[in-house]
Structure 1
Amino acid sequence: MNQTPILIPATLWDDDSPGVISTWLFEDGDAVTQDAVVAEVMNEKVSFEIMAPATGTLSIAVPAEAEVALGQRIGAVG
């Protein structure tokens, strides 16, 4: 099965400091549609929405409250 990775965009914030996944809005294994907001990431008290890159089944690779870096894969949709 093809999976499209869910990445923290490399240009989401201005510096190399880590962010934190504040919440996943869907559970692992849920069906999601392309462009649906699937997670929220915080950095320096600013919240960013992460969108599904495709329609399919969500596979979460990094749990809520975990630190993430710019460009990091946090899940996939397949």
Structure 2
Amino acid sequence: MRRGQTTNAEQVVLERRQIAVQTAQGKSLALAGREAEISGQSYYRWRTECGGLKLDQARKTNDLERESAGLRRLVA
């Protein structure tokens, strides 16, 4: 992810999974993060925020966030 790029929970789960696979294969976290264009700080923050989310849970979260945003626009 490039600096300043917005992410959703689904992207976070996929990126975290990709980095976890690479570190399990022996790559360092710094190298795996660099290849995915993610800083170590972002990775650890995502791990804290979305620790145990699975992909289907992340999709549901995104759907609920979109619905909530739409409802806020209607009310405003």
Instruction: Give the TM-score category using the shorter length.
Output: under 0.3
The structure whose Rg is larger is 2
Return the structure number with greater helix share.
Answer: 2
Length-normalised TM-score, structure 2: 0.25
Return the structure number with greater strand share.
Answer: 1
Length-normalised TM-score, structure 1: 0.25
